[in-house]
A and B are shown apart, each in its own frame.
Chain A
Amino acid sequence: MTDVRAPETDPFDPAAERDDQPRPAGGAFGLGGWLKWAWRQLTSMRIALILLFLLALGSIPGSMLPQRGTDPAGVQQYFASHPALAPLLNHLGLFNVFGAPWFAAIYLLLFASLVGCVVPRTFRLAGSARSLPPRAPRHLTRLPRSAVYATALPPADAVEVAARVLSGHGFRLRRPADGDAGHWVSAEKGYLREAGNLLFHLALLGVLVSVALGGLFGYKADRLLVQGDTFADTASALDEFHPGRLVTAADLGRFSITLNRFDASYIASGPQRGQPAAFDAQISYTEQPGGPVRTGQLEVNRPLSVDGAKVYLIGHGYAPEFRVTDARGQVVYNAPTPFIAGASGNFLSEGVVKVQDAQPQQLGFTGVFVPTAVDVGGTLESVFPAADNPAVSLIAYAGNLGMNTGPSQSVYQLDTGGMQRLTASPQVLLPGQSFRLPGGRGTITFTGYVPWVSLAITHDPGQLPALICGIAALGGLLLSFMIRRRRVFVRAGADPGGQPPQSTTVQVGGLARTDASGGFEAEFAALAAELRSACEQAARAQPAAHHRHEEE
Chain B
Amino acid sequence: MLKALSSPVPSASGPSSRVRRRTVVLAAAVLTGALLVVALVAAFAGGGNSGVTEIDGNASAVVYATGHRPLAPDFTATTLTGSTLSFSSYRGKVVVLNFWGSWCVPCREEASALSVVAAQYQPSGVSFLGVDVRDTTASAEAFARNFHVPYPSVSDTSSLITQDFTAVVPIAGTPTTLVIDRTGHIAGAVFGTATYPELTAILAKVTAKGG
Tell me, rounded to whole Å, the shortest Cβ–Cβ distance linking B154 to chain A: 15
Does A332 have its Cβ within 8 Å of any Cβ on chain B? yes
Q: Across the interface, do B40 and A98 meet the contact criterion of CB distance under 8 Å? A: yes
Residue contact A411 to B162, C-beta cutoff 8 Å: no
Task: Report whether A99 and B105 are in contact in the complex, using a CB–CB cutoff of 8 Å.
Answer: no
Q: Residues of B contacting A245 with CB < 8 Å?
A: 41-44
A258 to chain B, nearest CB (A): 8
Q: Write the nearest CB–CB distance from A333 to chain B, whole angstroms.
A: 6
* Interface assignment of A427: CB less than 8 Å from any CB of chain B: no
- With a cutoff of 8 Å between Cβ atoms, the chain B residues found around residue A232 in the complex are 158-160, 162-163
Question: A216 interface residue, CB < 8 Å from B?
Answer: yes
A-B contact count (CB 8 A): 223
Are the CB atoms of B109 and A332 closer together than 8 Å? no
Instruction: Assess whether A357 is in contact with B166, with CB atoms less than 8 Å apart.
Output: no
Which chain B residues lie closer than 8 Å to A78 at the CB level?
none
B133 interface hit (Cβ, 8 Å): yes
- 8 A Cβ contacts from A97-146 to B: 98-101, 103-104, 107, 110-111, 114, 117-118, 144
Report the count of interface residues on B (CB-CB < 8 A).
Answer: 69
Q: Which residues of A contact B44 (CB under 8 A)?
A: 104, 245-246
Question: A514 touching B105 by the CB < 8 A rule?
Answer: no
Could you say which of B10, B33, B35, B162 has the most chain A C-beta atoms within 10 Å of its C-beta? B33
Say whether, besides A114-B30, A335-B136, A408-B104, A208 and B160 are in contact (CB < 8 Å). Answer: no
A409 to B108, CA, bound (A): 13
* B167 near A211: Cβ-Cβ < 8 Å: no
Q: Are B138 and A332 in contact (CB under 8 A)?
A: yes
Decide if A256 touches B16 in the complex (CB within 8 Å): no
Q: Taking A250-B166, A289-B163 as contacts, is the C-beta distance between A204 and B27 under 8 angstroms?
A: yes
The residues in A between 40 and 57 inclusive whose CB is less than 8 angstroms from any CB of B are 45, 48-49, 51-52, 55-56
Q: A344 interface residue, CB < 8 Å from B?
A: no
Nearest neighbor of B176 in chain A, beta-carbon distance: A236
Partner of A107, one of B41, B169, B174: B41
**B163→A216 contact, CB < 8 A:** no
The answer to whether A249 and B172 touch (CB under 8 A), given A45-B22, A232-B158, A237-B163, is yes
Interface stretch, picked from A399-407, A417-425, A529-537, is A399-407
Q: Contact between B103 and A110 (Cβ–Cβ < 8 Å)?
A: no
Contact A332 B38 (CB under 8 A): no
Q: Known contacts being A110-B37, A211-B38, is A357 close to B146, with CB within 8 Å?
A: yes
B62 at the interface (CB under 8 A from A): no
A416 within 8 A of B: no
Contact A17 B22 (CB under 8 A): yes
Q: Is B134 an interface residue (CB 8 A)?
A: yes
Residue of B nearest to A56 (CB): B36
Contact with B along A318-346 (1 / 0, CB 8 A): 00000100100011111100000000000
User: Is A235 an interface residue, CB under 8 A from the partner?
Assistant: yes
Q: Which residues of B contact A254 (CB under 8 A)?
A: 163, 167
Closest to A121 in B: B26
List 14 A-B pairs, Cβ < 8 Å. A52-B29, A52-B36, A56-B36, A107-B37, A107-B40, A204-B30, A215-B39, A234-B163, A236-B133, A236-B174, A237-B158, A250-B167, A357-B142, A357-B143
